[in-house]
Amino acid sequence: MSIDLQFDRDHLWHPYTSTTNPLPCYPVASAKGVEIVLEDGRPLIDGMSSWWSTIHGYQHPQLSAAAKAQIDTMSHVMFGGITHQPAIELGKHLIEMTDPKLNKLFLADSGSVAVEVALKMALQYQQGIEQPQRTQVMTILGGYHGDTFAAMSVCDPDNGMHSLFSKVLSKAHFLPRPTTPVGQPLSAEDADALAQGFAQHGDSLAAVIVEPMVQGAGGMHFYGAAYLQRLRQLCDQHGVMLIFDEIATGFGRTGKLFAYEHAAVVPDILCLGKALTGGTMTLAATLATDAVAQGVCASAAGVFMHGPTFMGNPLACAVASASMAILQQGDWQQQVAQIEQQLSEELAPCAEFEQVAEVRVFGAIGVVETKRAVDVAVIQRHFVEQGVWIRPFGKLVYIMPPYLINSAQLSQLTKALSTTLARADVYQTS
């Protein structure tokens, strides 16, 4: 049966796309390894890991086996008043992989929900320790934390995707985007901005939330560990919860298993998602310290007031455990290091292009920022014609491939990117 593109165009809403004048959609028949196969049989090397998630590639045999075994036993039961081995096994994996201080685990549906859970935990914690005046949240400009309401409130208010909702969102406080480069001491600008932010708002803050080291969809911006170290110190001094959103950076993407390891800084609350199941299905996790859990449960409610229907879904938990087991085999470290080296070498020539503002690489993330926004429909067509799948947004054309990609496949991606960005027709004219 052929894919009904007309029905798709008329009725299905795709991410960040108009329904009245939608961007073209390419019909996919299957996916395996690092390739997406279109309905007409053309294979595309996936440079996006399906938005950071398919780190082990498509149809990984261990993930598929875990899903098939679990679905024959139990696909879902409610988590209220019931527990099961898949959730327990995943909990053991995550608590073993993260810092020992992060030993309380909430399993939710998606990355945005993990952020909602983290913010609610911080607010309820402050009530539990009798600090009810701490109701505000601070973050940094250029961030992206999801598309639900609390998550939108801590995304960039001006240059992000959610300015349309500014009048109805809770008001967060925003620090300037960090200027400290990766591997460098804290810049004077960042030190002053942090000091000023906490001086102005420290007494009313419940939490600070940031994406450590890498700001993802808000601009693919990288910054140094020294910033996180100073942020941790100030949060401790002012009694503020520190939340790290590692939904995009977790599970090896930056060259460390978790980005916070670059700074040797542990948050009070950690959000995980995307690659948690190896991109097989949706699942997220919010980890917290004992102190957070005790504060939350000391509040008037006595319990944490959140409980998604599909919390702790056995099928997703079983696949996530298989994904964690693959990571614990350790191959990802060499794979990510090789990807980083190759991206650095092969994307560097793009910096000479007239329309390119900057090229930057960190771990298995390669970014080419252009001076003018690209025309997504035009540039996407050129990429598909060259047998690759790269999905840019705005002025950012980036690659974050599955870890098992080989050097020839990665070269096809980088060559397609550089060849396409050399064309004049891929940039918006106004």
Edge to edge, what strands does the sheet with 28-32 contain? 28-32, 35-38, 43-46, 388-389
Burial of 200-210, coded b for 16+ CB within 10 Å and e otherwise, reads ebbebbbbbbb
**227, 274, 395, 398: which is the annotated catalytic residue?**
274
Please provide the CATH number assigned to the domain covering 74-328: 3.40.640.10
**58, 104, 125, 144: which is the annotated catalytic residue?**
144
**16, 32, 68, 192: which is the annotated catalytic residue?**
16
What's the DSSP call for residue 185? P
| Nearest partner of 342 among 238, 417, 267, judged by Cα | 417
Q: Span 202-224, mean pLDDT?
A: 96
Report the alpha-carbon distance of residue 410 to residue 407 in Å, rounded.
Answer: 5
pLDDT band per the 50, 70, 90 thresholds, residue 102: very high
**58, 245, 256, 268: which is the annotated catalytic residue?**
245
User: Is 398 annotated as catalytic?
Assistant: no
Q: Do β-strands 221-222 and 214-215 pair in parallel, antiparallel, or remain unpaired?
A: antiparallel
Q: What is the pTM of this model?
A: 0.96
Question: Which CATH superfamily, name and number, covers 5-59+333-421?
Answer: Aspartate Aminotransferase, domain 1 (3.90.1150.10)
User: Is 40 annotated as catalytic?
Assistant: no
User: Is 144 annotated as catalytic?
Assistant: yes
Report pLDDT digits (tens) over 365-422.
Answer: 999 999 999 999 999 999 999 999 999 999 999 999 999 999 999 999 999 999 999 9
Report the alpha-carbon distance of residue 416 to residue 390 in Å, rounded.
Answer: 9
Say yes or no to pLDDT of 1 above 80: no
Q: Where are the domains of the chain?
A: 5-59+333-421, 74-328
User: Is 16 annotated as catalytic?
Assistant: yes
